[in-house]
A and B are shown apart, each in its own frame.
Chain A
């Protein structure tokens, strides 16, 4: 009951302190590009084992008083000392660490994106067992070597397309005694691109495949080998001629006449859908399918157009355009 009240009043204070006047009291928790965890950012409290340890010390003390055992006092006070020292050590394990935002990986809406944070340790000793959590879920534990760096990751579940900010995350440690936990809340300038959630597989509408003044593709069975050319970024590895490449010192691609990838426009106006999001979702599916089928595809949005091409770069280009459309 009492602890509930304390918690309540603590949160009330936390709310209160966000008001402009009190803002200067609490250090900003971000967002930063890079930040050093100085003394006012690292909090520390005993863990549950820490509380049990305190009870143990009390029992030892009472026993020593009752039986008048000097060495009992000694042991009790030595353990008090160890508790104290470990409190500072745990705090020190986190404080002084430099954090740099490492960005997040792009994902489709509804999936989890992973953010990376670079931890830099300028001390001459390793900082062991630094953990990261977000929304109460522990995601990663790393050791940051002496005078070195390490990357720590945490995940955030996405909902909507666009830019997903990492939000506040928690870094904490219990090393080296688990009697206390030192933690910090920090927000770094990090965001991940969230592509629209792809629609269920759609039946390709004939209107969406257009010649656009060019030759309509042949069926794949009618391809004829035309020759070899140098590998370029974006080429499918399936088309690499391994035998020829082995003889040469660069990768060679087999070219086929009539085997030009199917050309396709994914056109905003050609999609039959109710809302913007649904439309984008269908277009995302089409981009996915086209890339998977090694077609050459272009993207046409009301205010933006990407010329037909294929390959990883083009693929992400298109998805990015869809993700950020009209935001």
Chain B
């Protein structure tokens, strides 16, 4: 059988339907190729051009490979691989001669749509994928429908029906399929998806940009009462290197547990689980002084948390932190690197430091307070949009503009301390977070991004000091939305007074949270948790497999019953059923229907017996004969027949 063009347009539409979420990621050259191939298949459909021949087709494949090398430098990997599959699907459409071969394109579609999960696993993508699966399955139907007698709507209905029936099977397998932790082979490195979040360096203005984003950075589920807002310092990275413009972290974090000392031996630790949105970096966020964290996370001496791979999916990790603990580890190198300043820069600031340090009698604690007092007294302004700073950034900030954001205050503070010979470092992360109004978790948004400092104290170790709090205490006590004047720059969820809008947004957030926990984050741990919730502890892989087999068998039995049972909607049976009912009524009234007797003979007998009901009986019999023996498919008649049998009283 020749490949009939009737499939060309539906399949072409299917490829595009699959590829729409990919388009924003594709390079321009590939987009042009897609447009070109679409145009070609369109012309082919209208018989304007020839099918590519034996020479042309390999040439086209070569061109595709060349294009991929030009755009990605490889044909492997997630981006290049999925792009290649997309272009090959078009070529397959050209090449296909037999109708049944077009099924390969549909299979390619099923595969391609899965490649989206590398970039997003949101509920929105899930819904889109289901829609695509429904459409692709309708293509299987049109391929199977050899007489081309189904309409598009009918096919979509049928495939939706199939998908709906498939969902219970999907859920059974999803819950019961044993999860294996860790990849079977290496994870891809070619990640180019853009995500919002803190980067690994801080320059003036880098944090300000995040403040306008209402996106969720992570959600926190506290085991008990959350600490007060002013204690919620979510540490991310420690930045020790300053070149006069930008703060950077150490390139090589030392994976060694920090030296934590508990001064009063009381267990005041709090446990919580963080559900971190993918930020495509390797570090995690946690409250200060962590006691315990899930096994696979590396902890650096500066108490930064690192994972093995970039975080491209929602991850959750359980943490225990204790604010009472003191980090007293300071080794040689750490001491010296946290005293470094770019040489010869910001002479005024260095002068100020020396003057103030002398003023307090070279006492470190007094000096720290003196510097904070300096910021308060000189009317420094906390603002989202400070003026740009010149080359001598610190001098410019302290003596000239005097307005800044958290980044400015913490760099100036660290600069002043280092100039006085006190080890100090910048820490970036998030400060604060707001409890969900009707759910039991805390939301930390990008707008909570913050920078603060840690200062070395010979007795207490590294002590957190937030110079921003000295200038604008409200930032730390109740959040950014209460601390700045330019509320219009903040995300709408923080400043909106519309209760309905806020409620809707938070409901959506609850949904996201559950989605992340139970769908995207459904792993070995979560599976175990679910079974513990249901009362089964220590479920082994073999138990899961057994349960899966049993459940699938049961589902198969239900499906088989559903399929094998007689179609209850069958019209002929309905008609027969109501005629039997009619005979039953007459039987009760004293006239028995003989099995050999035709309906019209029976009518003669009963109408002579019940002359006053003659018309009704004749109507019922007439309808019955036409419905059962005629080719009459009149719904009205069937309804009338059923109604009159029901209403008949003798």
A residues near B185, Cβ cutoff 8 Å: 66
Sorting the interface of chain B by its residue count into under 10, 10 to 19, 20 to 34 or 35 or more gives 35 or more
Query: Does B165 lie within 8 Å of A71, measured CB to CB?
Result: no
Complex CA distance for A82 and B166, rounded to whole angstroms: 5
A59 to B111, CA, bound (A): 9
The residues in A between 109 and 151 inclusive whose CB is less than 8 angstroms from any CB of B are: 122-125, 128-129, 131, 141-143, 146-147
- CB contacts (< 8 Å) of A240 on chain B: these are none
Q: Which residues of A contact B570 (CB under 8 A)?
A: 122-124, 147
- B113: CB under 8 A from chain A? yes
Instruction: Tell me the nearest residue of chain A to B518, going by C-beta.
Output: A70
A88:B560 contact, CB within 8 angstroms: yes
Query: Are A74's CB and B170's CB within 8 A?
Result: yes
Shortest distance from the beta carbon of B86 to any chain A beta carbon, whole Å: 16
Main SS at interface, chain B:
helix
Is A77 within 8 A of B173, CB to CB? yes
Contact A131 B166, CB 8 Å, known A49-B100, A73-B174, A88-B563: no
Q: Mark B516-548, 1 if CB is under 8 A from A, else 0.
A: 000111110000000000000000000000000
A-chain residues with CB within 8 Å of residue B569 when the two chains form the complex: 123-124
Residues of B171-206 whose CB lies within 8 A of A: 171, 173-174, 177, 180, 183-185, 187
- The reply to whether B559 and A85 form a contact with Cβ atoms under 8 Å apart is yes
Select one of A60, A124, A128 contacting B114, CB under 8 A.
A60
Q: Is there a chain B Cβ closer than 8 Å to A39's Cβ? A: yes
Contact A176 B519 (CB under 8 A): no
**Within 8 Å of chain B (Cβ to Cβ): is A171?**
no
Given A147-B570, A178-B140: A53 touches B107 (CB 8 Å cut-off): yes
In the complex, which residues of chain B have a beta carbon less than 8 angstroms from the beta carbon of A146? 571
B184 and A65 contacting across the interface, CB-CB below 8 Å = yes
B60 within 8 A of A: no
Alpha-carbon gap, A49 to B130, bound state (A) = 21
Chain B contacts for A128, CB-based, 8 A: 144-145, 147, 149-150
Q: Least Cβ distance of A152 to chain B in Å?
A: 12
- Which residues of the partner chain B approach A89 to less than 8 Å between Cβ atoms? 162, 563
Question: How many residues of A are in contact with the other chain, CB < 8 A?
Answer: 54
B114, A72: Cβ atoms under 8 Å? Answer: yes
Closest B residue, CB atoms, query A79: B110
Residue A175 at the chain B interface, CB threshold 8 Å? yes
- Report A-chain residues with C-beta under 8 Å of the C-beta of B156: none
Chain B stretch 107-130: residues in CB contact (< 8 A) with chain A: 107, 110-111, 113-114, 117-118, 121, 125-126, 129-130
CA distance A265 to B126 in the complex (A): 84
24 contacting pairs across A/B (C-beta < 8 A): A49-B100, A52-B107, A70-B521, A70-B523, A71-B117, A75-B110, A75-B113, A77-B173, A77-B177, A79-B133, A79-B166, A81-B163, A81-B170, A84-B169, A84-B559, A88-B563, A92-B564, A124-B567, A125-B567, A147-B633, A176-B162, A177-B162, A178-B103, A178-B143
The 9 closest A-B pairs by CB, nearest first: A81-B166, A81-B169, A124-B569, A77-B173, A77-B170, A88-B563, A123-B567, A175-B144, A69-B117
- Known: A73-B177, A82-B166; 6 extra A-B contacts, CB below 8 A, are A70-B520, A71-B121, A75-B113, A91-B563, A122-B570, A176-B144
